[in-house]
Amino acid sequence: MLDSAYALIERYERVKDSFIKLQAIKYRFMALFGQENEEPFNEVNKIMNELFLAARRLGERYWNPKFQAKATRDPKWYDRMAKEEAKFWAGQDPDTIAQRMDNAVAHVEDVCSEIIWRKPPRKKHIP
């Protein structure tokens, strides 16, 4: 069970270059579209931090056999554990992490939509 908590970190390590590039793009994006449009990039960072914190809490606290005795004394133990698990596992209902990521992507797409969807001008054929 403890290994499951660290799976997120292992997966992140395989794709961390993409997140590093995303942060570099953030500043170019802000230069082109204004500082008021940095929020989706900040939201992705917040989400990643929440996921790492949830993985750490689950691995060190909630799934650790050393702390299971505390669960019997603390009636809110399982509620807090479920809250962390909901962040960690995709497909929880509602999946707020996925919704927040989708919203961040949609924000960037909305800002860029004119450029993304613009058709290039037709070249005139001059004989």
Q: Does the pLDDT at position 68 exceed 80?
A: no
What's the pLDDT tens digit per position in 73-118? 888 888 888 888 887 776 666 778 888 999 999 999 999 887 777 7
Q: Where are the domains of the chain?
A: 2-117
Rounded Cα–Cα distance for residues 71 and 53 (Å): 20
Contacts 24+ apart (CB under 8 A), 7-16: 7/55, 8/51, 8/52, 8/55, 8/88, 9/52, 9/55, 12/48, 12/52
Judge if pTM exceeds 0.85. no
Q: Does the pLDDT at position 119 exceed 80?
A: no
What's the pLDDT tens digit per position in 16-45? 999 899 989 999 999 999 999 999 999 999
